Amino acid sequence: MIRGPLVSRPKMGVFVFYGLSKMQHLMSTYNRLPLTFTRGEGVWLEDIEGKKYLDALSGIAVCGLGHCHPDISKAICEQASTLLHTSNLYEIPLQTQLAGRLAKLTGMDKVFFTNSGAEANEAAIKIARLYGHKKGMDTPSILVCQGSFHGRTMATLSASGNRKVRAGFEPLLRGFSRIPYNDLDAVRDAATNDPNVVAILVEPVQGESGIRVPDEAYLSSLREVCDKNGWLLMLDEIQTGLCRSGKWFCHQHAGIVPDVMTLAKALGNGLPIGACVVNNEAANVFEPGNHGSTFGGNPLASATSLAVLNVLERDNLAEQAARSGELLQKLFNGALRDNAHVKDIRGIGLLFAIELDRPCGELVMKAADKGLLINVTAETVIRLLPPLICSESDIREIADRLIPLIEEFLVQ
């Protein structure tokens, strides 16, 4: 655990002056919080003044193993001192080994490695289009869901169902048909009325729109519709995958296997790497020259991901995430379920949300002042994505720090 004196962060005016002077050459693509971290260890981060923060966001589900996990740091250092990069012009034994591990874990056939989740989804979208063209279709279409978020490249932005992130970037790419999330009738209607559909791209749990968990039969029913119509079932597991939901992959709760699954975030525990995992017919769509990545799956990224998978498996972190998620549900339901201003408390594993009846963005800095890092999404939803390594005492500490803040906020 990080040791050090607890002192207050700089006053806002001091920070703004510091921030402007240091960040004037950065493009204004982020509304950054007035926080600067200098080191991390486990579930804790430390700022420039030595103040400690319990990280209940884990870099938006990236640092599942916490910060500077010794096994991951060791793997990065050893590989960095041996070989960083060669390019995909050559065989990369560590990449081959990583693909084999992912195939074994998923029961799927092949893997394409990228640098990010957006790139993994780009690969999935290209697979669907090429799959359609190989079936003789001129204008293949992909079903996507309202409220979804698949990335910020032009293709993934076009696929996303969040109007706010799409605004201003029109014309978007064509070839996407949008339907309501968790609505099987809409999927069946598309199967009946739209002959151009070749695939559906969906998040097993919608993250950015507020941890929206679909009905229990949703994914298995999608599998049935896809099988019946010859569509590809493509699951964006960039936030839900790699033990966060309480299983290795969220779709395993439904007992199905997708045709395409995209991964990133926790795959490198902070080092950028993504993956597009494919099965059945989707596994043979790409041929040499159809797609590529300069850095994807290079020796450093592959060695790091292998170490991540080793720790997830060795420490049984899927089961730990399930237990921690149940405790979060119990603690927050016990304290807030009867509060008339709390609309819902929901989640699966360590994907957890508290939805309020009002915008609550100001809670992010109020929590930070108490030494707790959280996130608010969809304006009214407090989103918690704590590290998978959280102990029971860490989970109770999150509840102890956050529940009084919510109660105080709701009586204002």
Positions annotated as catalytic residues are: 149, 236, 265
Nearest to 261 by CA among 102, 135, 115: 102
d(CA 148, CA 174): 17
Phi and psi angles of residue 276, each rounded to the nearest 5 degrees, phi first: -115, 110
Say which residue the tokens 């996990």 belong to: 69
Neighbouring residues of 3: CB distance < 8 A, sequence distance ≥ 6: none
d(CA 214, CA 14): 45
Say which residue the tokens 């193993």 belong to: 65
Q: Which residues on neighbouring strands pair with residue 178, listed in sequence order?
A: 144
At CB < 8 A and 24+ separation, what contacts does 281-286 make? Answer: 281/131, 281/232, 282/127, 282/131, 282/232, 283/108, 283/109, 283/110, 285/127, 285/130, 285/131, 285/134, 286/112, 286/126, 286/127, 286/130
Check: CB of residue 237 under 8 Å from CB of residue 266: no
Q: HEC profile for 318-383?
A: HHHHHHHHHHHHHHHHHHHCCCCCEEEEEEECCEEEEEECCCCCCHHHHHHHCCEECEEECCCEEE
Q: Is 386 exposed, middle or buried (0-12, 13-18, 19+ CB in 10 A)?
A: buried
The H-or-E segment that residue 262 falls in is strand 260-263
Pairing outcome for strands 381-384 and 351-356: antiparallel
d(CA 27, CA 190): 41
Count of CB atoms situated within 10 Å of the CB of 345:
19
Q: Put the strands of the sheet holding 372-373 in their side by side order.
A: 37-41, 44-47, 52-55, 372-373
Neighbouring residues of 404: CB distance < 8 A, sequence distance ≥ 6: none
